């Protein structure tokens, strides 16, 4: 996999959550999200309990609440969609703050907000405690198709390279007096995008030939073995199993 690439979501630390094998964390988060999605929307208390569980994980990982809340901004489009639902979903009407809204729309908005926020928060905690290289190793350990892992690896590795190439092209345009100020400049931007695609494609061909010349045969070697102990699997399973117990209780009440 080569050297890891730090990302903005990752928060360096030495907590028990940071030290847990990445494939254990991936399985735990996936199980937790599946349980959250399966919870009936009327079990409001269950979603509050899930939030407490994530709060406990964040505390154990020493991830500050402010760090987590700032990263939750990514779900703003879903929040906007949820706020529209009470006004566009047909059904029984009720009054909320003097405004007539749909009861099914309110439940739908709550469903999207609660489950979406918990899912995003769990993903942010995963990213905050696991660097990208470890995540890829975890996906390999979970037997994700090797081609998908390789695509993700190259995307992470060369994303910054392509971004830097785009920045240099932008600097070259501005140094020649170009400023995009309207529709008439879209043609220049389109040609820039085409040139960037061609450069990226050619770079990909050169990298592929270099890999083949070094023995690449369609799969990347697993450089680092990271077996998990039974205790580590038990610790990781605590989150989804506790959530599952809450979910089953929510269905019975």
pLDDT of residue 251: 84
- DSSP symbols for 134-188: HHHHHHHHTT--HHHHHHHHHHHHHHHHHHHHHHHHHHHHHHTT----SGGGHHH
Tally Cβ neighbours within 10 Å of residue 178.
Answer: 14
For residues 105-114, average pLDDT = 88
Highest mean predicted confidence (pLDDT) among 43-57, 69-83, 228-242: 43-57
How far is it, in rounded angstroms, from Cα 15 to Cα 231?
Answer: 16
The predicted structure's pLDDT at residue 192 = 85
Q: What is the mean pLDDT of residues 224-240?
A: 82
Q: Are strands 93-96 and 99-102 parallel, antiparallel or unpaired?
A: antiparallel
Question: What local confidence, expressed as pLDDT, does residue 226 receive?
Answer: 61
CA dihedral 51, 57, 63, 65 (to 10 degrees): 20
CA 4 to chain centre: 17
Q: Which of 51-55, 114-118, 223-227 has the lowest mean pLDDT?
A: 223-227
**Angle CA 45–47–50, to nearest 5:** 115
Query: Is 111's pLDDT higher than 80?
Result: yes
**How confident is the model over 59-69, as pLDDT tens digits?**
999 999 888 88
Asked if residue 124 has pLDDT above 80, the reply is yes
* Digit-coded pLDDT (tens) for 14-68: 899 988 989 999 999 999 999 999 999 888 999 999 999 999 999 999 999 888 8
Please report the pLDDT score of residue 136 as a whole number.
Answer: 83
Structure tokens at 47: 């979603």
The answer to whether residues 74 and 123 touch, using CB atoms and an 8 Å cutoff, is: no
Mean pLDDT of the chain: 85
**pLDDT attached to residue 3:** 44
Count of CB atoms situated within 10 Å of the CB of 34: 14
Rounded to a whole number of angstroms, the CA Rg of the chain reads: 23
Tell me the two tokens of residue 76: 């703003």
Give residue 138's Cα distance to chain centre: 15
Average pLDDT in the 218-227 region?
A: 64
Q: How many Cα atoms sit within 13 Å of 74 on the Cβ side?
A: 13
Higher pLDDT, 32 or 100: 32
């Amino acid at each position: 996999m080569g050297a890891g690439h730090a990302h903005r979501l990752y928060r360096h630390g030495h907590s028990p959550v940071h030290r847990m094998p990445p494939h254990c964390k991936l399985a735990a988060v996936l199980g937790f999200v599946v349980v959250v999605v399966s919870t009936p929307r009327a079990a409001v208390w269950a979603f509050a309990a899930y939030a407490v569980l994530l709060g406990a994980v964040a505390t154990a990982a020493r991830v500050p609440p402010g760090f987590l809340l700032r990263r939750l901004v990514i779900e703003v489009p879903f929040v906007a969609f949820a706020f529209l639902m009470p006004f566009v979903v047909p059904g029984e009407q009720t009054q909320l703050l003097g405004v007539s809204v749909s009861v099914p729309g309110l439940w739908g908005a709550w469903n999207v907000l609660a489950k979406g926020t918990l899912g995003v928060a769990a993903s942010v905690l995963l990213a905050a405690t696991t660097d990208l290289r470890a995540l890829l190793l975890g996906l390999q350990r979970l037997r994700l198709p090797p081609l998908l892992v390789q695509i993700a690896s190259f995307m992470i590795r060369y994303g910054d390279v392509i971004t830097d190439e785009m920045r240099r092209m932008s600097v070259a345009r501005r140094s020649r007096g170009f400023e995009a100020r309207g529709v008439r400049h879209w043609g220049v931007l389109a040609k820039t995008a085409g040139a960037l695609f061609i450069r990226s494609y050619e770079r990909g061909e050169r990298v592929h030939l270099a890999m083949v010349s070094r023995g690449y045969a369609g799969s990347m070697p697993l450089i680092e073995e990271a077996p998990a102990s039974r205790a580590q699997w038990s610790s990781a399973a605590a989150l989804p199993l506790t959530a599952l117990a809450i979910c089953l209780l929510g269905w019975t009440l």
